[in-house]
Amino acid sequence: MVPSLALKVDVDTLKGFREGLPALLEILELRGIKASFFVALGPDNSGRAFLRLFRQKGFWEKMWRTRAPALYGLKTLSYGVLVPGPVIGRLAPHILPALTAAGHEVGLHGFNHVRWHDKLFKMTAPQIELEINAAQKLFTAALSQPAQAFAAPGWQCSAVSKKILAAQGFLYASDTRGTTPFWPQFGAQIIPLLDLPTTLPTLDELLGFNGCRPRDFSRLILARLETKTPQVLTIHAELEGGPYRREFAWLLDRALEQGVTFFRLQDWARQLLQRPQEIPVASVVQGRLPGRAGRLALQAPREKNK
């Protein structure tokens, strides 16, 4: 087997939707690479995310390291605080068809990204279902069919959210951080929805952490790609499609030189689901990762599974 990598592109903001996605499309097209895009289609309430300063350990340090205020801009940071958050999916409807026309996969990254990220565990099942349905409505209006894949904002998922996604017939989700594809388990309950976790660290986690520079991050990822195990790298339209687009292009070029092949998550999911009995079960736990503020959903080591 040759080294292989899936690019999971999260789009959280209107700026990422309008500016980052076209830039990434050009970078990928020049190299013949197909990726999996996950878009948040509801209101861009990015300004409210800064309330995490008061309740999330490590958030201020992360914002300082990544220079987030300069990265996102004052206009984006005013959304949901000084002005109403614009509904992303209504303001650039041509972009989703452009992604699918180019051969990329498109899935959901939620409706209200900030609300899901910050309040999932306080939401009722009907509220979670409403979030997913609202996103699906905008998605279907743009592409004439519902999304088949879901990636949870901020890697926040629960037994309730997973059960709802499974009941709605999603092919798979990419809601966690881990090492291998798995059936998610919460307590004694196994959810029949394949999870394809992000396996590699992200740029915003390591940038500035222990002096890590963009080129240091790229070299770290390239070293991790030397394994024969398929890897999943999450990038963000606002970063790799913004000020770090040249570094992202450099990373892709070096990966291609190393013989890395790129694949879409949906294709991997369909292949795995041909033999569902071979997919392991793993518990989902809440934990922390270096460089990331707050807690997120992690795939537990296999020896901890029941």
Q: Give per-residue pLDDT as tens, 153-166.
A: 999 999 999 999 99
Mean pLDDT along residues 291-304 = 85
For 65-106, give the secondary structure using H, E and C: HHCHHHHHHHHHHHECCCECCCEHHHHCCCHHHHHHHCCCEE
What number of other Cβ atoms are within 10 A of residue 105's Cβ?
Answer: 23
Query: What pLDDT is attached to residue 1?
Result: 65
Mean pLDDT along residues 179-203 = 97
C-alpha closest to that of 154 among 118, 191, 204, 197: 118
**pLDDT interval class at 306 (50, 70, 90):** very low
| Cβ atoms 278, 19 nearer than 8 A | no
Q: Among 61-75, 183-197, 252-266, where is mean pLDDT lowest?
A: 61-75
Sign of CA dihedral 266, 179, 60, 121: positive
Query: What pLDDT is attached to residue 52?
Result: 54
Mean pLDDT along residues 166-192 = 97
Mean pLDDT along residues 245-260 = 97
| Cβ atoms 81, 43 nearer than 8 A | no
How far, in Å, CA of 73 to CA of 222, rounded?
30
Burial of 183 (0-12, 13-18, 19+ CB in 10 A): middle
Q: What percent of the chain has pLDDT over 90?
A: 77
Beta partners for residue 184, in sequence order: 282
Q: Which domains does the chain have, with CATH numbers?
A: 4-304 (3.20.20.370)
Q: What percent of the chain has pLDDT over 70?
A: 88
Instruction: Please report, for residues 71, 138, 252, 263, the alpha-carbon distance to residue 249 in angstroms, rounded to integers and kept in the order given.
Output: 19, 31, 5, 17
How far, in Å, CA of 9 to CA of 104, rounded?
10
Mean pLDDT along residues 227-254 = 96
| Cβ atoms 195, 181 nearer than 8 A | yes
Query: What pLDDT is attached to residue 70?
Result: 58
pTM, rounded to two decimals: 0.91
Q: Cite the DSSP H helix spans in the chain.
A: 14-15, 21-31, 59-66, 68-78, 88-91, 95-101, 113-119, 125-143, 159-167, 203-206, 214-224, 245-257, 265-272
Mean pLDDT along residues 198-222 = 94
For the stretch 8-50, pLDDT in tens is: 999 999 999 999 999 999 999 999 999 999 999 999 987 766 5
How far, in Å, CA of 11 to CA of 95, rounded?
12
Mean pLDDT of the chain: 90
What number of other Cβ atoms are within 10 A of residue 127's Cβ?
Answer: 13
Residue type, 108: L
For the stretch 45-89, pLDDT in tens is: 877 665 554 455 555 455 545 566 556 666 776 777 667 888 999
Q: Please spell the DSSP secondary structure of 117-140, one letter per residue.
A: HHHGGGS-HHHHHHHHHHHHHHHH
